[in-house]
Chains A and B, each alone.
Chain A
């Protein structure tokens, strides 16, 4: 385009300055409002400040102690009482008890009680150990002491281990959690599987629709695009409840099938993996169609005709000529759909079955309900890792494809 910009007298580097100045506010904005807060939140996945800051004396008194020796000796109890009294005075007893309760469920109440008594000076005397155990017998649990002895550093692996269904045993070894508590890995695989199948179905459905839109006359294409975008403009709740009504036992689909005599008992359609995938595909499909349409519009139809006239069957011509050229659109669409699908949580809770809940709903639970931001951050790290892998996969496919074309 030689007529657009006259040759600049500035050097290339200086010529870029105005552009840098133009994007600088955006970069600053993104760093301040997205990258920094996300990094600060993710840091909580390894942050151990509650234990490190509040139980320093106790963990020091426990050096050399291991769980096999039974209950820790008197100095450890005395240090515990001092630590808890200080935490109570500083107003940190609540967060400390919550943190220990995450590791040893059911310990929150008696730890708070011990801290209160410690601050009141009620746990003194020659035998602090007996006084503490008499006030709160939960301290007889060696698992609790093991946590305090092990988690003495600035950082902890506790949340990352938990998010991988792993735990640290009192002897320091790392192993699997009991089967009844093993949850997060299966949720992670399920989240990936649902997102991948939604992406694949969207791609399969979007390709023919995109071809029709591109081939249609201008007015018809505009109408088709509006139809494609309609689900995006509908409220999530309305859309989901509409699917529930459509798919339920006495809903139109089941009654039609029964009326036609195809089935005798209503099919179980709603609250299944299938109903979840259908609902997700419906709303994410436009995000796949739009990038494919925009790429397809730039491919001259003569290419396909040329390939066909040279004797290639339609399928071969499409696969060898059309597909490599629309691959960028397909990859962009797949990336967007996959990323959006990964973060879904309201739709799965509304229309999925009990085995279809996705990772984000657990992140919300730990963030909002129990204030366990460490575990929420660890689960977010998993989601980010999946995103990074997906981005890597898209880049690899792109590189591979461009090499083959070249």
Chain B
């Protein structure tokens, strides 16, 4: 079914490619299958409708690149997908343009955390509790279970950084997702998160690359791990794995944001792309084909139940989760990562 939809889109795009090209725009995503899906689901239809040729580039999300481009006066990107905390930092520094008015007017239709004066979500993803259902028939149901090494013996995989990990520690300590940042904004709350992490520290295998984390789970090196939901969907659908996701344990969802780079060479075409993507039927082109959602709430009505089932931000899932607070991390990332690394190596 997915394939037929793909072929249909390709045929549509092919039929329209005869349209007269009107300018070009350079759009920069995260590469790999992410770019492949964006091309089929979004940028090809954009070219078909507007005649603007799209160069779909990829990058590693390094804000330093945008700053360097701007300082040297040679900006080569138009629209980039950038992580929300980096959008926050870059927007305040003037590295990104404010959204076009037509897009900004839609703010109320967006899920919390997916709209920013400088950008709208290009994708929403979540860090979820994952276990190998082939090995654990009765898997963990909560982050407290994740911490419970007597009930579930074995090592745990955890992302080796403060961001996304302190949140999970507070979930395990019984803080509801919506309350986590209120707690983390106090010094006692940060101490509480680190105290909770102390409990599990001897049983943790830290990861930095999702490939090694999945490899650890596959090899039984860890019995459960935190992981990006899209990666797990991919493993289950393409590599025949049977990994379980404990959505009900609670999770945080993050967003990457489409943003127009300041002084972009094709700023008008970039704005046209943002306006195109802001329409729900165009935005749906991405989550139809992938395990990541988008920001506009109306998009989810356009998806089938199976498509919705993969997404952290679908109506049935979002109640278990809360958005990562990019403003919190924009101002606390340095000091908390510093403390986390010190704690980690003790």
The B-contacting residues of A in range 184-232, CB under 8 angstroms, are: 186-187
- Chain B residues within 8 Å of A124, by CB: none
Query: Any chain A CB within 8 A of the CB of B1?
Result: no
How far is the CB of B190 from the nearest CB of chain A, in Å?
10
Chain A contacts of B341 at CB under 8 A?
183, 187, 354, 357, 362
Q: Give the chain B neighbours of A370 by CB distance below 8 A.
A: 89, 333-334
A130 at the interface (CB under 8 A from B): no
User: Which residues from B are CB-within-8-Å of A368?
Assistant: 60-64
Partner-contacting stretch, out of B107-115, B205-213, B250-258, B296-304: B205-213
Q: Is B216 an interface residue (CB 8 A)?
A: yes
Could you tell me if B219 and A250 are in contact, using CB atoms closer than 8 angstroms?
Answer: yes
Q: Name the contact of B334 in the complex, choosing from A105, A112, A182 (C-beta under 8 A).
A: A105
Interface contact B337-A91, CB-CB below 8 Å: no
| Given A94-B94, A181-B342, A251-B219: A372 and B334 interface contact (C-beta under 8 Å) | yes
Interface residues of A in 332-388 (CB under 8 A from B): 349-350, 353-355, 357, 362, 365-373
Q: Closest approach, in angstroms, between the C-beta of A73 and any C-beta of chain B?
A: 28
A108 and B219 contact, CB distance less than 8 A: no
- List of B residues within 8 angstroms of A95 by Cβ: 93
Interface: A93 (CB within 8 A) = yes
- Check A97/B92 contact, CB under 8 A, given A354-B206, A354-B345, A369-B86: yes
Question: What is the CA–CA distance of A271 and B330 in the complex, to the nearest angstrom?
Answer: 30
Decide yes or no whether A109 CB sits under 8 A from chain B. Answer: yes
A-side contacts of B342, CB under 8 Å = 179-183, 186
B-chain residues with CB within 8 Å of residue A112 when the two chains form the complex: 92
Q: Within the complex, what minimum Cβ distance (angstroms) separates B11 from chain A?
A: 36
- Sorting the interface of chain B by its residue count into under 10, 10 to 19, 20 to 34 or 35 or more gives 35 or more
Prevailing SS type, chain A contact patch: helix
Q: Across the two chains, which residue of chain A brings its CB closest to B330?
A: A108
The residues of A that contact B211 with a CB separation of less than 8 Å are 237, 241
Size class of the contact patch on chain A: 35 or more
Bound CA span A97–B91, Å: 12
Contact yes or no, B333 A108, CB < 8 A: no
Q: How many A-B residue pairs have CB under 8 A?
A: 105
Neighbour of A371 across the interface among B64, B94, B343, CB < 8 A? B64
Query: In the complex, what residues of B have CB within 8 A of residue A350's CB?
Result: 208-209, 212
**A-contact 0/1 string along B34-71, CB 8 Å cutoff:** 00000000000000000000000000111110010000
Q: Which residues of the partner chain A approach B330 to less than 8 Å between Cβ atoms?
A: 108-109
Interface membership of B133, Cβ < 8 A: no
Q: What is the chain B residue whose CB lies nearest that of A362? A: B341
Identity of the chain B residue whose Cβ is nearest the Cβ of A361 in the assembled complex? B208
Please tell me if A244 contacts chain B, counting CB pairs below 8 Å. Answer: yes
In the bound complex, CA of A367 to CA of B60 (Å): 13
Q: Which residue of A lies closest to B336 (CB)?
A: A105
Residue A245 at the B interface, CB < 8 A?
yes
**Which residues B171-205 have CB closer than 8 A to chain A?**
205
What is the minimal beta-carbon distance from B180 to any residue of chain A, in angstroms? 16
Q: Give 1 or 0 for each of B322-346: 1 = CB within 8 Å of chain A CB.
A: 0000010011111101110111110
Tell me which residues across on chain B come within 8 A of A146, comparing CB atoms: none
Shortest CB-to-CB span from B133 to chain A, Å, is 19
Residues of A within 8 A of B205 (CB): 271
Whole-angstrom distance from the CB of A357 to the nearest CB of chain B?
Answer: 7
Instruction: Please tell me which one of the listed residues B62, B331, B333, B344 contacts residue A354 in the complex, with CB atoms under 8 A apart.
Output: B344
In Å, the complex CA distance between A98 and B334 comes to: 11
Residues of B within 8 Å of A367, CB to CB, are 62, 64
How far is it, in angstroms, between the C-alpha of A241 and the C-alpha of B343 when the chains are bound? 26
How far, in whole Å, are A179 and B343 apart by their CA atoms in the complex? 10
Distance to closest chain A CB from B136 (angstroms): 16
Query: In this assembly, does B100 line the interface, its C-beta being within 8 Å of a C-beta of chain A?
Result: no
The verdict on A322 contacting chain B, using a C-beta distance below 8 Å, is no
Q: Which residue of B is nearest A95, CB measured?
A: B93
Check if B220 is an interface residue, CB within 8 A of chain A.
yes
Q: A108-B331, A370-B334 are in contact. List 18 more A-B contacts (CB 8 A).
A: A94-B93, A94-B94, A105-B332, A105-B334, A109-B327, A109-B331, A180-B343, A181-B335, A181-B339, A183-B341, A249-B219, A349-B208, A349-B209, A350-B209, A362-B341, A365-B337, A369-B63, A371-B93
19 contacts between A and B (CB under 8 A): A94-B91, A94-B94, A98-B93, A105-B331, A106-B332, A109-B327, A186-B345, A248-B219, A250-B220, A354-B160, A357-B341, A365-B337, A366-B334, A368-B61, A369-B333, A370-B89, A371-B90, A372-B334, A373-B64
What are the nearest 7 A-B pairs in CB distance? Answer: A94-B92, A105-B335, A108-B331, A354-B344, A355-B345, A94-B93, A368-B62
